[in-house]
Amino acid sequence: MKRIIEGSPLIPKIERGKKIQVIVDDKRIEAFEGETVAAALLTAGITTFRHSQKNKEPRGLYCGMGICYECLVTINGVHAQRACITTIKDGMRIETCKELKL
């Protein structure tokens, strides 16, 4: 999963927001202001956001628009936040595969 750098007719070039840093599962990753938590995780190569409760199977982004609840992660200690609709902030602490209850 890569950030698109060059522009094209359907996806015109864009200048991203400021570069920021967040901590994901104790690892430092780079992101850009304006990105969602999901976008930042995916570009860092993290695609399993949680494990399902019963079968412990990997789950990640699915609907991308806040309605399926598959992308739940823990943000600054608050569980079950939807990565796909949460805007990332400098210094955020994100944990994958933790508690699934709000």
Partner 1 sequence: MIGSYELAVIGAGPAGMKAAITASQDGVRTVVIDSFLQPGGQYFMQAPVEYKPLGQTQTEKTGKELIQQFSSSPLTIFKGTLTWGIFKEENEEEWLIALFGDSETKFIRSKNIVLATGAYDTPIAFPGWTLPGVITCGAALILLKSHRIAPGTRAIVTGTGPLILSVSAHLLEAGVNVLAICESNTILPKGIGHAPTMLSHMHRLKEGAKYMNVILKNKAPYKTGWSINRAEGNDHVEKAFISKVDKKGIPFLASQVEHQVDLVVSGYSLTPNTGLARMIGCEMDYQADRGGWVPSRNEKMQSSISGIFIVGDGAGIGGAENAEIEGQIAGNEIALRTGHINLKTGQERFQELQPRLRNQKRFGKLYGDLFTPKPGLISLANDDTILCRCEEVTLGEVKKAVAMGAKTIGEVKMITRSGMGNCQGRMCEHSITGAIVKALSAELATFKTVGFNSIRPPLHPLPVNFLAEVQKELDVTE
The entry of partner 1, ligand FES, none that residue 23 binds, CB within 5 to 8 Å by partner kind? none
Least separation in angstroms between residue 26's CB and partner 1 is 19
The entry of partner 1, ligand FES, none that residue 17 binds, CB within 5 to 8 Å by partner kind? partner 1
Instruction: Say if residues 41 and 49 touch (Cβ distance below 8 Å).
Output: yes
Decide: is 95 part of the binding site for ligand FES (CB under 6 A). no
Which C-beta is closer to ligand FES: that of 34 or that of 66? 66
Report d(CA 60, CA 15) in Å as an integer.
27
Least separation in angstroms between residue 25's CB and partner 1 is 14
- Site residues for ligand FES, 25-64, by CB under 6 A, read 61-64
> The tokens 């202001």 sit on which residue?
33
- Enclosing H/E stretch for 29: strand 27-32
SS (H, E, C) 37-88: HHHHHHHCCCCCCEECCCCCCEECCCCCCCCCCCCEEEECCEEEEECCCCEC
What x/- string results for residues 56 through 75 when contact with partner 1 is judged by CB under 8 A? -xxxxxxxxxxxxxx-----
